[in-house]
Every structure is written in C-alpha cells, then in structure tokens.
A and B are shown apart, each in its own frame.
Chain A
Amino acid sequence: MTVRQLQYREALNEALHEEMARDPSVCVLGEDVGRYGSPFQVTRGLFDKYGEKRVRDTPISEEGFIGIAVGAAMSGLRPVAEILYIDFSTLAMDQIVNQAAKARYMFGGKARVPLVVRMQGGGGRGNAAHHSQSLEMWYVHIPGLIVIQPSTPYDAKGLLKSAIRNDNPVIFIEHKLLYNTSGPVPDEEYLIPIGVADVKRTGDDVTIVATSRMVLFALNAAEELARQGIEAEVIDPRTLKPLDIDTIVRSVEKTGRLVVVNEGHLTGGFTAEVAARVQREAFDWLDAPIMQVASEDVPLPYNGRLELEAIPNEQDIVNAVQEVVYWD
C-alpha cells in the first residue's frame, strides 16, 4: 500500500480539522483565518465547519488577539492563534513572554495555559527585513514556553496535534518555504511526542543537527557529501525546547564531529546553544571543533543575491562538514 503524499500546509490543515472535531474547546483565532482560510491556507475549511465563534477572524491587532487567546487558555479553551509572520509576534511579546509563559510558575502551579501560537518564519523569498526573520531563539530563551519547528508534512501534522493537546503555551513555528513541500502522511491518526528528535539520515562520519527548512538543506548536503565518501547523520530536533540533547550526544559519540545548522542569526543563536551543550556532555568524543552554520548578523536584505548570501545554503553545510572531517 502506498502512503499518500500531502503538502506541509495540507498536513497542518488536517491536524486542525481533526483536533477541532475531537475537542470542542479547541478554537482558532487570527487575521484572515476564518472566511479567507488564512493566507497560507492552513485554516482552510474550518470556518464553514465550525462557525465564527470557534474560528475567529480578528482585526490586525497582534497583541490584542494573542492576549485574548492567553485569557481564553486560562479559562477553559484550547486556542490555536495564528500570527501571519513571526516578525509580527514581536508586537505580542508581553502576552507571550510575560503572561502566557509565566502564569503557571508565577501563580504557584495552579494555572494551565494550553495555548498554541502558530507563526511562520524564515527567509529565501525576498520578503526583506520585516517578513523573513527566524526568531525562534527569542522564545527558546523563555522558561515556560515549548518551541516546535517541524520540517516535514509528517512532523508538522503529528506535532501540531500534540501541541494542541499539551497544557503549556507552545510556539509552533512553520517555514514559509515549506508550505508547498510534500511528503508521506498516513491516513490513520498519529501523534508525534514533543521533545523527541528525529534522525532523518544515518551516517558514521559526522553529525549534522539542522532545524526547519535547514533540514532539507542538510539532507541535500549529505547526498553531496556521500558522493565524496562522507556519510553524514542528519538530526532534526523538531522541538527546540525542550531539546532532545541525548539523541544529539549519542550521535556525536558515534561520529566525533558536529555541525549545527539554523536559519537564525549566528550571535546568541541556536547553533551556539547546541555547541555549548554538546561540548559539555560529549567533550571526550569530539575529534574536531563544533562548526556553526547560521545566518549572517545582518537584517535580511531584499535583493536576491544578498539574501542568498545572508542565509545558510547547502554549500555552506558541505564546507563546514569538510572542515570538521579533515580537521587535524
């Protein structure tokens, strides 16, 4: 039996349909998520099926509707809010960072904030500095938040369903250039556990940890490296927080070499965090310095040549791997 192929956007849409059918407390809010079905079509069909109260078209008021989602999550609902671009989530930072993330701890463990904030980030499409950022580390830094970044349709669906059922605020970050990618998604229901990495490719020579769209780049780079006789293991953490560091460390213990790839900026970024933790937990197994492949420390430029230079690509990953493999 062949497994059907779904687009990333379709897989996310299916997750929302299934969870709304399963649990009447699940509701969706955001700009153009109702009648229009959201600009990336992830909420398509929900409005017709569940009506305007459970699928709320909101004004362009990011702080306001995220605040409403936080309050709704504290009082019996499981809201899934959509912020069109992760760049706009900065407008809602008080609600996410000060309210949603803090409530449980600050109120002594009594609050429950089962909230999912979906947003999409990343560059590569010429959207320039206000529509191209990779701000995942802003959220990873905050205790109380869970941060998820799926790279495949299969992971997107299974993780969104788990996020909706989770009792914590979850920042669910999609990538604008993944929506049209396709992959196998089974007909039957499944969940993917939060906090579990996935080994996308096995190999003995080097470990590549990559997130979101960079997973696709890492897999392409691994094919190129295989032609050069280097077998790379590609690990997708899928959940950035909590991070499945054990899977990464086990791989490094096998390969002795690590390259970390993330589309966020280099300084203070995800690659630095993984490097710090691996050197602490697997220092004796490392045969080369850990290499970081990340976006340049510049705002994302509009011009195509400049943007390509700013964000990591396959060749950057190949170069980094060669450097650690041939280190002496």
Chain B
Amino acid sequence: MKLSGDKLANMYYRMWLIRYFDEGARSLFQENMIRGTTHMYTGEEAVAVGACTALNQDDYITSTHRGHGHCLAKGGDSRAMMAELLGKVTGYCKGKGGSMHIADFDLGILGANGIVGGGIGIATGAAYSADLRGSGQVAICFFGDGASNQGILMEVANMAALWKLPVIYLCEENQYAQFSPSKPFIALERIEMKARAFGLTGITVDGNDVLAVYEAVRQAAERARNGEGPTLLVAQTYRVEGHTVGDPLTYRPKSETEEWKSAERDPISRFGRYLTEEANFSKNELETLRAKARADIDEAIQFAIDSPEPEITTLWEDVYA
C-alpha cells in the first residue's frame, strides 16, 4: 500500500531519532550518567519504524530489553525516555524503571521488559483482551532470535493460533543472543519454520527494508483484525552494537559489522536512497529531517540532565494501586 509523503518523512525522521537516541544513550552511559546497563538498537531501526507505522495509536506493542527503538517508533516521547534513562522524576517511570522498563499506556506501549521473552505473554494477553472486548485492536510482540527459544512462545502461540487472537509475533533476527551468535542455538534452519509447529502463519522479511517490514506488518495486522489469526514475522537484521554498551565483541569479526554498517546495508541509508530516487524527496528535505531528529535528541538529553531526581519519599509510592 502506498504511503503518503508525510508518513514517509515521519518514518525517516523516526529512524534518525532512534539512531541519535541510542548514540546519546551510549555517550551518557560512558560518562557514568546512566546506571546499570544499556542496550542499543542501532542498525535495527527499520523493524520498529516499519512495524509501528502499520499500527494505530491504540494498538498494543510489547518491547524488549533493547527497547528504545520500539517505544520511539510507537510515538514515545524522547524527553521522558531520556529522563528515565537518567533516573529522573520526569522520566516515563519517575526514575524507577530505567532503560529496560519504559512504558506508555496511552500509546499502547505495554512495557519494555528486562526478561528475555518477557513481553510474549503480555502481548498475547492484550490480543486476548482486544478480542474479548471486540475492540479491533492488534498487538505486536517484539522479541529477538534469542527469545525465540523461550518456552513461553510455544505456549502462547499455541493458544493464539487456537483462539485466532489478533497478535503478531515479530522476531527481530539480529543474529546475536546476548554474547553469542544465535544460529548455533536454534535447531531449525530458519526461525520462520517454528510457525508451522506453533500453528501460525510464518513470514520472513528483510528487516533492513523499512517498507518491506511495513507492508508485511500491515498485511499481518489486517489478517489479525479480520479474525484470521496470528503471524510469526521474522525480520532479518543485524545487531550493529554489542549486547550492552561496553561489550568487547570478541565473538565476531569486525569486518562482518563493517559490512552491515555500510551505506549499502544500513537501513537509514537504504531508506534515504529510496526517498530521493523513488519518492521525490530532495537531499535537502532529508537533511532537514535528520537535523530535526538530532536537535530533538540534543534537547531530550538537556531536558534529562536538567530534570530533578525523585524525592526519597517516592521510594514507597506505587507499589500498590
């Protein structure tokens, strides 16, 4: 389906927003302003942006430990996100969640998750809820190739297929699972083959092609809304950065990463070429969108730095409703 110029521009902007957000997060982590750990989504922007462009605002997503991209793609506020990474009271979770726990229930973001595969059950439950309420909403569950080995996927995919729930299991095959390549840990040749066992429709798509992801998710969402059941959509991409910031990356050759970072493969460069060559965007227009993303992240970082710490009294707040 053809996307409007505004939509295409917004997709390009969001991809840069994600890129700059995570580059900013890396710098802040290296400056010890971010505690714990940080996972970068760099190189996978096309998956989140393509997928979320195919959703309505009230559709649901569940995200992962590598979740900044999903939240920004679904419309998340970069200022509240960055403030959360810095543990500030203006953050999405008032400083109690940090990088791995950003949620925005008004945007259908049912949370990033610190447990690998932790969102798989929740997304399926949101789809069950949408189905029971007859709301027409769909749920996308983002997870990685590593999480495709978690047992809960088999359990809930079976139920989703039995009950024809409006859920899309979107596996971001970024080729790495924590500090190891993922392939030696998956018995099947392709992750998509799991769909057959689970009773799902299985599709594999080029995860660095934002329009291909968009179209695949749009069709899967349409099937879901029509009561035709869930899809396992595997988006093949590459984790350009380490598992966490500071990962020594001893387990893979530099040349492999350089190849995926090249303009030929990088998802933002690829989309930029499409926009100028096939969608009548000028280089200036793209530059303006990129610069706006850069400026918005700079502002988000400043907002986060300037924001206050939570009061100690908040420690005991919000344990119970």
* A326 CB–B CB distance under 8 Å: no
One of A55-63, A125-133, A217-225 contacting the partner: A55-63
CB-based nearest B residue for A242: B320
B155: which of A64, A106, A166 is its contact (CB, 8 Å)?
A64
One of B28-36, B115-123, B201-209, B225-233 contacting the partner: B115-123
Contact with B along A65-85 (1 / 0, CB 8 A): 111111111111101000000
* A193 CB–B CB distance under 8 Å: no
A67: which of B103, B114, B124 is its contact (CB, 8 Å)?
B124
Most buried by A among B115, B121, B129, B151: B121
B126: which of A58, A74, A99, A143 is its contact (CB, 8 Å)?
A74
Contact A168:B125 (CB < 8 A) given known A107-B97, A111-B105: no
* A108 CB–B CB distance under 8 Å: yes
* A18 CB–B CB distance under 8 Å: no
- On chain B, which size bracket covers the interface? 35 or more
CB-based nearest B residue for A67: B121
CB-based nearest A residue for B165: A68
In the assembled complex, the Cα of A268 lies from the Cα of B122 at a distance in Å of 32
Residues of B within 8 A of A53 (CB): 131-132
Establish whether residues B123 and A71, one from each chain, have CB atoms under 8 Å apart when the complex forms: yes
In the assembled complex, the Cα of A64 lies from the Cα of B127 at a distance in Å of 13
Establish whether residues B126 and A71, one from each chain, have CB atoms under 8 Å apart when the complex forms: yes
B124: which of A56, A68, A77 is its contact (CB, 8 Å)?
A68
Establish whether residues A68 and B125, one from each chain, have CB atoms under 8 Å apart when the complex forms: yes
Least Cβ–Cβ distance between A110 and chain B, in angstroms? 5
* B317 CB–A CB distance under 8 Å: yes
Q: How many A-B contacts are there with CB distance less than 8 Å?
A: 150
Contact with A along B276-307 (1 / 0, CB 8 A): 00000000000000000000000000000000
Residues of B within 8 A of A63 (CB): 121, 151-152, 155
Using a CB-CB cutoff of 8 Å, which residues 135-163 of chain A contact chain B? 143-144, 146
Establish whether residues B132 and A106, one from each chain, have CB atoms under 8 Å apart when the complex forms: no
In the assembled complex, the Cα of A63 lies from the Cα of B157 at a distance in Å of 12
B129: which of A58, A76, A94, A99 is its contact (CB, 8 Å)?
A76
Establish whether residues A107 and B93, one from each chain, have CB atoms under 8 Å apart when the complex forms: yes
Establish whether residues B110 and A71, one from each chain, have CB atoms under 8 Å apart when the complex forms: yes
Residues of A within 8 A of B318 (CB): 104-105, 108-109
Contact with B along A278-313 (1 / 0, CB 8 A): 000000000000000000000000000000000000
B130: which of A68, A75, A103 is its contact (CB, 8 Å)?
A75
Establish whether residues A168 and B321, one from each chain, have CB atoms under 8 Å apart when the complex forms: yes
* B190 CB–A CB distance under 8 Å: no
B121: which of A25, A58, A68 is its contact (CB, 8 Å)?
A68
Establish whether residues A59 and B159, one from each chain, have CB atoms under 8 Å apart when the complex forms: yes
Contact A74:B132 (CB < 8 A) given known A59-B159, A110-B105: no
Using a CB-CB cutoff of 8 Å, which residues 107-155 of chain B contact chain A? 110-111, 113-115, 118, 120-133, 139, 151-152, 154-155
Establish whether residues B111 and A107, one from each chain, have CB atoms under 8 Å apart when the complex forms: yes
Establish whether residues A65 and B131, one from each chain, have CB atoms under 8 Å apart when the complex forms: no
* A35 CB–B CB distance under 8 Å: no
CB-based nearest A residue for B133: A76
* B223 CB–A CB distance under 8 Å: no
Establish whether residues A105 and B159, one from each chain, have CB atoms under 8 Å apart when the complex forms: no
Residues of B within 8 A of A166 (CB): 321
Residues of A within 8 A of B91 (CB): 108
Residues of B within 8 A of A146 (CB): 320
Establish whether residues A68 and B110, one from each chain, have CB atoms under 8 Å apart when the complex forms: no
B118: which of A73, A79, A94, A107 is its contact (CB, 8 Å)?
A94
Residues of A within 8 A of B132 (CB): 27, 53-54, 72, 77
* B92 CB–A CB distance under 8 Å: yes
In the assembled complex, the Cα of A206 lies from the Cα of B212 at a distance in Å of 73
CB-based nearest B residue for A144: B319
Contact with B along A312-323 (1 / 0, CB 8 A): 000000000000
Using a CB-CB cutoff of 8 Å, which residues 213-245 of chain A contact chain B? none
Contact with A along B232-270 (1 / 0, CB 8 A): 000000000000000000000000000000000000000
* A112 CB–B CB distance under 8 Å: yes
In the assembled complex, the Cα of A82 lies from the Cα of B109 at a distance in Å of 27
B115: which of A61, A75, A94 is its contact (CB, 8 Å)?
A94
* B218 CB–A CB distance under 8 Å: no
* A202 CB–B CB distance under 8 Å: no
Least Cβ–Cβ distance between B153 and chain A, in angstroms? 9
Least Cβ–Cβ distance between A91 and chain B, in angstroms? 9
Binding site for A on B (CB under 8 A): 60, 62, 91-97, 101, 103, 105, 110-111, 113-115, 118, 120-133, 139, 151-152, 154-156, 158-159, 162-163, 317-321
Given contacts A67-B156, A71-B129, 20 further A-B contacts (CB under 8 A): A25-B133, A53-B131, A56-B163, A63-B121, A64-B158, A68-B156, A72-B126, A72-B132, A74-B122, A75-B110, A79-B125, A98-B118, A106-B93, A107-B96, A107-B103, A107-B111, A108-B94, A108-B95, A109-B318, A168-B321
21 A-B pairs in the complex with CB atoms less than 8 angstroms apart: A56-B128, A63-B151, A64-B124, A66-B121, A69-B125, A70-B125, A71-B62, A71-B124, A72-B132, A74-B125, A74-B126, A75-B110, A75-B130, A76-B129, A94-B152, A95-B121, A98-B114, A99-B113, A106-B111, A107-B111, A112-B321
Closest 6 CB pairs of A and B: A67-B121, A71-B125, A64-B155, A109-B318, A108-B93, A71-B122
Binding site for B on A (CB under 8 A): 25, 27, 53-54, 56, 58-59, 61, 63-77, 79, 94-95, 98-99, 103-114, 143-144, 146, 166-168
